[in-house]
Amino acid sequence: MSIEVRLDDLSSPEVQALVAEHLAGMRGSSPPGSVYALAIEGLQRPTVTFFSAWLGSALCGCGALQELDAWSGEVKSMRTRPAYLRQGVGQAVLDRIVQTARDRGYRSLHLETGTGPAFEAAHALYLRNGFVWSERFGDYEASDFNVFMRKSLGA
């Protein structure tokens, strides 16, 4: 069975619980003031496109694309449920985000993520997919607890 990545409006309690799980995980892995994950209200803004990942009827992950401007976007809220780790969920969601960004004509994708062991798998996923370490962007503050990455999508 293949992973289906769907456009999602965040209305289901199951998806809302996954977002809450994501926020709790980020808060548990990062010091106070270093978590930039979006809550439901932030993910429902018009500039954000949210995706959920399903294996049959099981919700296994999520991710979002936030428009930064007409030419760039930001990867947000990437999460795989523990039971589905290392089964291609993150890759499937990231593929959908990258394709959506390309379809919109974005020239680049950016992201901010944490540091330390809890984030090593995410770093590896992004590096495998052509992201490179970069300077901070937007309103983010750089610290010892976060890193920034960028992927060029071409002209």
Mean pLDDT of 99-115: 96
Domain residue limits, the chain:
3-152
Q: Report the pLDDT value the prediction gives residue 29, as an integer from 0 to 100.
A: 67
Gyration radius from the chain CA atoms:
14
Write out pLDDT tens, residues 13-50: 999 998 888 777 766 666 666 666 767 888 999 999 99
User: Domain 3-152 belongs to what topology?
Assistant: Aminopeptidase (3.40.630)
Cα 155 from chain centre: 23
Write out pLDDT tens, residues 116-146: 888 899 999 999 999 999 999 988 888 888 8
How far apart, in whole angstroms, are the C-alpha atoms of residue 124 and residue 104? 26
Q: What is the dihedral of CA 78, 84, 88, 90, to 10 degrees?
A: 0
Q: Report the pLDDT value the prediction gives residue 1, as an integer from 0 to 100.
A: 67
Kindly report the number of other CB atoms within 10 A of residue 16's CB atom.
14
Mean pLDDT of 91-111: 98
Confidence class of residue 58 from pLDDT cuts 50, 70 and 90?
very high
Q: Report the pLDDT value the prediction gives residue 35, as an integer from 0 to 100.
A: 63
pLDDT above 60 for 155: no
Mean pLDDT of 64-80: 96
Write out pLDDT tens, residues 74-99: 999 999 999 999 999 999 999 999 99
CB of 32 closer than 8 Å to CB of 23: no
Q: Report the pLDDT value the prediction gives residue 119, as an integer from 0 to 100.
A: 87
How far apart, in whole angstroms, are the C-alpha atoms of residue 92 and residue 62? 10
Q: What is the pTM of this model?
A: 0.92
Which positions ≥6 away from 24 have C-beta within 8 Å? none
Q: Report the pLDDT value the prediction gives residue 154, as an integer from 0 to 100.
A: 77
Which positions ≥6 away from 45 have C-beta within 8 Å? 66
